[in-house]
Amino acid sequence: MLVANSSPLNQYIAAHPEFILEGAPEAGLVNPDNFDILISHLKCAAFEVPFESGERFGPHSDPTFELLVDEEILHRAGRRYHWMAESYPAEQVSLRCASIDNFVIIEQGPKPRVIGEVDRPSAPTLIHEEAIYFHGGRQFHVDRLDWHEKKAYVRAVDVDYYTDAEIAVDLKVLEDTEERDVVGGSVAHGDVKVSFQPTIFKKIKLETHENVGWGKIQLPQEDVHTTAYWLSLLPDTATMPAGDAMQSGLWGLGNLLVNVAPLFLMCDPRDIHVATEIKSPFTGRPTVFLYEAAPGGVGLASHLYKVHDDLLGAALDLAARCPCHAGCPSCVGPANEVGSDPKAGALALIAALRGQHDSVRSVDRAAV
């Protein structure tokens, strides 16, 4: 028995139980050349057996060895690189994420205890002050976050809401690895620099996902070099919305894509994020970016590039089947948060990208 909540991902699976019951096994994705992953494994390997000069361990092995020599982690003796640091390298390798820069979560009390940890990219959204952190089926209120010491101090609570952080994102494309034209636009993937600044958090009721309050987040800006998949649209005044309708439609499309993306990726929904630009400085067009949370990327963006058609089809199916009129948390997002009628705008954009120029509402009714 599967009990679904109102999230878009749950709603899609509820409408398509064959995804779980009849689908092929998922393909786990990892990029072994990701520098954070590679450097951690190289340290562990060097601790066991010295490396020989010219020995291959991922791309650019010798420059990486020399970098670790400069950092006084390895020592070069002749043609060999020996481990020289005092620490045990495996202690710093996370089994959950690529990042090794983690925040410790401490439950306060007569006898404080560590109950968990989160990676640095997730810290601003999960353990900011006044956040509700879930661990072991229990709720904890974050009373204080010591950013410099990487410690969050929490206490157990029992409330009927969770918190959802809003982040202002500035994304710059560094290099497009692959690009191809599609109907109504183009798709690509490549390296990006993402600067994000936490701004506010919302309090969302557990049962209904209603917004019941908010607060400000005071944390510094973070910069991450990662990978992204992006979809840019050709401006076509005959078939696409314009002005505010384009803005809300782009937001709605971004919400759809980021919520169905985990169906095609073996990842947690928090591993992929969305950013939209009404006129991207890089593409010069309305563009939706799905970027990876892991520094350096682990292969999610390149896989989305390959399954672009299926991703777009799933986004259309989710929006068209939803019985709401103008948008809701189960599809494109509530209209009062993402603009005027984001559902109509998102459906119009998807129809243009799929080469369908019927009216938005006829597409909606036919799908339902």
- When pLDDT is cut at 50, 70 and 90, the band that residue 367 belongs to is very low
Q: What are phi and psi of 82, to 5 degrees?
A: -110, 145
* pLDDT value of position 309: 92
* Count of other CB atoms within 10 angstroms of residue 4: 13
Q: How many residues does the chain have?
A: 368
CB 190 within 8 A of CB 307: no
Query: Which residues neighbour 199 within 8 Å (Cβ) at sequence distance 6 or greater?
Result: 166, 167, 168, 216, 217
* Mean predicted confidence (pLDDT) in 91-111: 75
- pLDDT tens across 260-314, in order? 998 888 788 888 999 999 899 999 999 999 999 888 888 899 999 999 999 999 9
Report helix, strand or coil for 353: helix
The crossing angle, in degrees rounded to 10, of helices 308-321 and 8-15 is 90
pLDDT of 336 higher than 60: no
pLDDT of 217 higher than 80: yes
Compute the mean pLDDT over every residue in the chain, rounded to the nearest whole number: 84
* Mean predicted confidence (pLDDT) in 227-245: 76
CB 228 within 8 A of CB 189: yes
CB 333 within 8 A of CB 162: no
- When pLDDT is cut at 50, 70 and 90, the band that residue 359 belongs to is very low
pLDDT of 117 higher than 60: yes
* Mean predicted confidence (pLDDT) in 7-16: 86
* pLDDT value of position 238: 45
- pLDDT tens across 49-87, in order? 899 888 888 777 888 888 888 888 888 898 899 998 777
β-strand partners of 179:
188
Antiparallel, parallel or unpaired: β 138-146 and 132-135: antiparallel
User: Distance between CA 310 and CA 292 in Å, rounded?
Assistant: 19
CB 255 within 8 A of CB 8: yes
- pLDDT tens across 184-211, in order? 889 999 999 999 888 999 999 988 878 8
User: Distance between CA 130 and CA 81 in Å, rounded?
Assistant: 47
Most confident of 6-10, 33-37, 303-307: 303-307
pLDDT of 240 higher than 70: no
Asked whether the CA dihedral 41, 45, 47, 53 is positive or negative, the reply is negative
Instruction: Please provide the CATH number assigned to the domain covering 166-199+218-367.
Output: 3.30.1360
